[in-house]
Structure formats: C-alpha cells, structure tokens
Amino acid sequence: MNVPQFARSVSARPRVVRGLRQAIVAYAERLGADAEVCESVALAVSEALNNVVLHAYVGSQPGPLHLRAWQDPDGHFVVEVTDEGHGMLPRTDSPGLGLGLSIMAQMADDVRVSTRQEAPGTIVSLRFSLQRCGDEVLAGQCG
C-alpha cells in the first residue's frame, strides 16, 4: 500500500491537539495499525503535542507546531513532532507532572528527542510497529 506522507503545520495552541491526535490515528489506521497500536499512538502523540503547546513557546506567542508521519521501509509507523521554540529548558513552574517523555517511551517502540540543527526548536520522533500480537511486537501482519 502506497499512502502519501502525513504533514500538518499549525499554531501551537491547546485547541489543535485533539484534532491532530484524531488525524494521526486515522492515518495510522490507513496504514494498517491495529487498535492497540492506535491507542499507543494517540497517547504518545498527545503527550508530544502537549509538550510543544506547554513548553516550546513559554514567554512568547505560540509558534508553529509541525506534525509529520509516514511508514518507513521496514514497515514501522514513524511520527515526528517539531517546534521552532527555544528548545528543552528546565522549568520550575512547569504546569505538568513531568511524565510526558516517560509515557511516550512506554507507548512507542522508539523515542528520540533532538535539537533542530538548522533552526531553534526540538524534534520528537516516535516509532511504532503497526501490529501487536500478544506479547510480541511485529511490523506487518500478525499471525
């Protein structure tokens, strides 16, 4: 199946998170993700999106939030959440519990956080197998 890459760019405001989460789950379903994977994608991507909304543009107007997703050559579902904010800085006034990265790590098969090279900002990359069969995690079809 040849499904084009998913790409959206919006202003990093709380009201966009729900719609982006729904769109990325629908895209994962088009690629063949099972229900368990879709639940993991929804939770991990919500955490990444909320991190941009809450942390990327503190002290300034909300800036861009970029969401991209695709199926890699190995059949895994890859999601990138990128901002153009000031990067990851410690916050003593953080409105969250500080569990976002931990939740992402539990939901995704692989999580990578990096600083953008060409401009200010952060990139969160999440990788998921499309099918989960019992205790095994597989790319492609189950059983």
Q: Is residue 63 assigned to a domain?
A: yes
Task: Identify the CATH number of the domain in which residue 66 sits.
Answer: 3.30.565.10
State the pLDDT confidence band at 117, using cuts at 50, 70 and 90. Answer: confident
Q: Is residue 143 assigned to a domain?
A: no
Of the candidates 20, 5, 28, 31, which has an alpha carbon nearest to the alpha carbon of residue 83?
A: 20
Instruction: Quote the pLDDT of residue 136.
Output: 47
Q: Is residue 104 assigned to a domain?
A: no
Domain carrying residue 14: 6-89+115-138
Number of domains in the chain: 1
Q: Burial level of 95, CB count in 10 A (0-12/13-18/19+)?
A: exposed
Of the candidates 5, 46, 3, 2, which has an alpha carbon nearest to the alpha carbon of residue 22?
A: 46
Q: Burial level of 125, CB count in 10 A (0-12/13-18/19+)?
A: middle
Model confidence over 54-102: pLDDT tens digits?
Answer: 889 988 999 999 999 999 999 999 999 999 998 766 555 555 556 677 8
Q: Is residue 96 assigned to a domain?
A: no
Q: Is residue 99 assigned to a domain?
A: no
Residue 103, pLDDT above cutoff 90:
no
Q: Is residue 1 assigned to a domain?
A: no
- pTM of the full predicted structure? 0.84
